Amino acid sequence: MIHTLSATPDARNLTVLWDSGETSELPADVLRREARDADSRREVIVTGKISVAPDLTITGLFQVGSVGINVHFSDGHARAIYPFPYLRELSDRFGN
């Protein structure tokens, strides 16, 4: 499904190279807003949205077995795991 994942040189986007040869770029702020971890869900319940710094960047990418990736952000958030099918969904909705 996914061939490679990397952050762009400015760390503001996640580049996904799919096995099909297609490439998607997902902005860090979109990934942060679309995170499904418990802390992010709680923030949405309490405040109605996820606050994202305008200069948010990706600080780390860590593969989670064969199922997804854990993305760390410059705001200190490091709990979100993005299963590969969810990355595909986000790419279809927000990627360029």
Task: State the residue range of the domain holding 50.
Answer: 2-94
The CATH number covering residue 86 comes to 3.30.2020.30
Task: For 24-92, give the DSSP string.
Answer: EEEEHHHHHHT--SHHHHHHHHHHSS----TT--EEEEEEETTTEEEEEETTS----EEEHHHHHHHHH
Supply the pLDDT for residue 95.
76
Q: What's the domain count of the chain?
A: 1
52 CB-near residues (< 8 Å, 6+ apart): 29, 32, 33, 75
Structure tokens at 94: 């927000």
Summarize pLDDT for 24-60 with one digit per residue, the tens: 999 999 999 999 999 999 999 999 999 999 999 999 9
Structure tokens at 59: 């600080």
Whether this prediction's pTM lies above 0.85 is answered by: yes
